[in-house]
Structure 1
Amino acid sequence: MDGMLKLFVSSFILMSMLLTSSAQSCSRYAFSSNRVFSSCNDLPYLNSFLHWNFNSSSSGVQIAYRHTGVTSSMWVSWAINLDSKGMVGSQALVAYRNPDGTIKAYTSSVDSYRTPLSESNLSFPVSDLSATYSNSEMIIYATLELPNNSTTVNQVWQHGPLSATTNTPGPHAFSGPNVQSMGTLDLLSGRSATAPVGNSRTRNRNIHGVLNAVSWGILMPIGAIIARYMRVFKSADPAWFYLHVTCQSSAYIIGVAGWATGIKLGSESSGVQYTAHRAIGIVLFCLGTLQVYANGTHVFRFILADCGMLT
């Protein structure tokens, strides 16, 4: 009897969890303002959902962007990028809660990764912009008039902290779901796809770090240790020299590849600057270049001496 009771309780809990999970689907959501939207998407990151009505004849779209788990010290945003995938160049709808409890909703044209999300006009008309906040959920409403009869758009959604002193949007996180919250959206079919841009950038950052760690952090010091400690043994001559040159040259070649990867990452991340990191990289690259130049001179002199042309 106890076994049957435990089985019943476990089944009830599991069923409740399944029902709760299914209730999170956007298609089951009922707006308190009696608004009705014919299409919706459960966005894959940051507890977000998009609802819309699309008028294909006028390219007008009524949207309701929902973001759950929002605190009073957070801002949320949903944007369309008409020119490319990603945040830079996107046309954003932003909302957050003021200290007095009122909700501020406005438009912002995003020019760089470090944009302060200041209020500005978008490249297309926006009307009926408003927002509500209740039970840790922010909802942004707006009507957009998309240019060029657009039916497929690049979308970006985001959240971040409010400044404690000015109560204005601060920078969001640059890792995890915050760099994956973008994709394409077909307003007619309702199909959406998440863009792999964030994963690609993360992979390139890892490659940049590994190449530079191997070159400047491992091979270059090993080459210096060989020159410092092996040259005193006559039995190691001239093997130590060739090992030294091999390590230093390999380090420089790998370091140039890492440096080039960093340049590419910088060109893809306009507005993001790491001044100290850049300065250290430039100094290392210059010192490495001088070291390789010195090695080349030593190799040339060593070959001449070995051929009896230099005493």
Structure 2
Amino acid sequence: MEVAMRPPHRPLLQLFLFLITSSFYPTIAESESECSPCNHITTRMNSAPTSTLCRRLPTLGADLDLCYYNTTTNATIDVAFSATLPSRGGWIAWGLNPRQPHMVGTRALIAFLMQGASVVYTYNITVDTKHWCKPSPSSIEMDVIILMANYSGDTGRMRLVARLGLPPEYDVKRLNHVWQVGTKVVGSSLRRHNLNLANFDSRETINVISGQVLGQRMINRRILRYAHGILSFIGWGFLLPSGIICKRYYRIFDFIASGETWYLVHKTFETGAYLIGVTAWGIGLYLGSNNLRSYQAHRFIGIAIFVLATFQVMAFCLKPRQDDTCLQHWNLYHHFVGYSLLILTIINIFKGFDILKPPRAWRTAYIVVIVVLSSIAIVLEATTWIMFCRAKPRKKEQTTEAKAQQTRPASP
């Protein structure tokens, strides 16, 4: 009978794999332990959780862990929410809204440092908060069974932990939750958080049982913001100044200076800029419909750009004939509106960068576009003046010669 021989290196390989896996095991166990909010609450439930959810939230560097228990008439959840405090005097907040994922109507748990100790209170966020009234601690209709907080001076992160009994109107399959961080607390009254997009986007609807984020509205809004920025960049930021350069310096280039070619090129640039820019403007109006009090300067400048650009497009249809006496006034109006548009566009695109906070490459790319177009305009402007100065003596000689021919007596 043949005996199968085991390769002599197999025990060494098994030992090596055992050592590798055992070295990773504590890390995995620690991450799972940290993930479950049940481990942050010493008082255990009588049964295991029906489901757990561990999630890095998409904004403000926040983390959320949930344990859901379906052992009573009303659902019970254990919550562990953490985020980095903007400063030691700041605050973090997490809450539920029974109607929609908005700030107003949220029943919030808010943690901060008071005289060096971590405290957490319940707040009912009413519509008065939207009118700059400072929220203060108040009772909420949820059954707050456990509520505590702790702060790590090493990491600067504050964690709040709670066990909540949810009333029937809170559907765990469509749970609207909101989170936030703020910079200052006076006593127990909160000061307003920053008005950045990350702060406005700190809301979701989740299915606690499946762990699924419901709806793609916030994702779609982020896509629309980037579409708004890219279209504004192309339309107002590139095509508009290119059309202006073409109009001002077309005489230098023989291939477009003849006939109406220059006018068609100029009209094509400006019409394309208008169509793309107005599309970006419409997207911007939709995005700003929920935050009318935010980014007012960017909004009003955008409206002014749309109005002036519409006047410019209408001017193509209302341009006087070459022999019309009002042509000079029309040219002054057209040039003034065009250069005003250019200035407002540059200002508003930079304001858009401050709001959207895209990757730094976006701002760098736009600055490069401005520098390149400005350099082209400066070179062409210098060329125009050189051509003008060279042509002026010739024109003067031709004028003098024409006058001399007129005064010269006719030959007999």
TM-score scaled by structure 2?
Answer: 0.59
Partner of 1:239: 261
Q: Secondary structure at the match of 1:230?
A: helix
Greater per-residue strand proportion? 1
CA contact (8 A) 1:211 1:254 kept: yes
Deviation at 1:75, TM superposition (A): 3.1
CA contact (8 A) 1:105 1:130 kept: no
**1-structure distance, mates of 2:276, 2:147:** 52
- Structure with the larger RCO, 1 or 2 (CA within 8 Å, 6+ apart): 1
Mark the CA change 1:274 to 1:129 in structure 2 (over 3 Å): closer, same or farther: farther
Deviation at 1:17, TM superposition (A): 1.8
Partner of 1:223: 243
CA contact (8 A) 2:37 2:80 kept: no
TM-superposition CA deviations, 1:91-128 (whole Å, max 9, x none): 22222134232624113235488977724878x83333
Deviation at 1:173, TM superposition (A): 7.5
TM-superposition CA deviations, 1:254-308 (whole Å, max 9, x none): 11111110111011x335510221122122222212211222223x748x9xxxx
Mark the CA change 1:272 to 1:119 in structure 2 (over 3 Å): closer, same or farther: same
2:312 equivalent to 1:291? yes
CA contact (8 A) 1:75 1:169 kept: no
Question: How do 1:44-59 and structure 2 match up within 5 A?
Answer: 44=55, 45=57, 46-54=62-70, 57=73
Q: Percent identity?
A: 18
Q: Of 124, 138, 150, which residue of structure 2 is paired with 1:108?
A: 124
Mark the CA change 1:257 to 1:48 in structure 2 (over 3 Å): closer, same or farther: same
Mark the CA change 1:139 to 1:272 in structure 2 (over 3 Å): closer, same or farther: farther
**1-structure distance, mates of 2:68, 2:176:** 13
Larger Rg: 2
Q: Secondary structure at the match of 1:294?
A: helix
Partner of 1:280: 301
TM-superposition CA deviations, 1:169-209 (whole Å, max 9, x none): 542684569836522225xxx22311433221111111111
Report which stretch shifted further, 40-49 or 255-264.
40-49
Partner of 1:91: 106
TM-superposition CA deviations, 1:115-152 (whole Å, max 9, x none): 77724878x833336521236431133333233x8453
**2-structure distance, mates of 1:104, 1:266:** 33
CA contact (8 A) 2:51 2:68 kept: yes
Unaligned runs of 5+ in 2: 1-11, 153-158, 325-412
2:95 equivalent to 1:79? yes
TM-superposition CA deviations, 1:42-90 (whole Å, max 9, x none): 2422221123434674xx3333321245555453333333333x32444
Greater per-residue helix proportion? 2
**2-structure distance, mates of 1:9, 1:116:** 59
Q: Of 21, 31, 46, which residue of structure 1 is paired with 2:41?
A: 31
| Equivalent position amino acid for 1:63 in 2 | I
**1-structure distance, mates of 2:298, 2:26:** 51
Q: Secondary structure at the match of 2:94?
A: strand
Q: Secondary structure at the match of 1:152?
A: coil
CA contact (8 A) 2:97 2:106 kept: yes
After TM superposition, the runs of 4+ consecutive aligned structure 1 residues lying more than 6 A away are 3-9, 112-117
TM-score scaled by structure 1?
Answer: 0.76
CA contact (8 A) 1:214 1:251 kept: yes
Partner of 1:193: 212
**1-structure distance, mates of 2:93, 2:258:** 65
Partner of 1:307: none
**2-structure distance, mates of 1:151, 1:14:** 35
| Equivalent position amino acid for 1:179 in 2 | D
CA contact (8 A) 1:87 1:113 kept: no
RMSD: 3.7
CA contact (8 A) 2:243 2:266 kept: yes
**1-structure distance, mates of 2:126, 2:230:** 32
**2-structure distance, mates of 1:97, 1:19:** 30
Unaligned runs of 5+ in 1: 305-311
Partner of 2:81: 67
2:141 equivalent to 1:125? yes
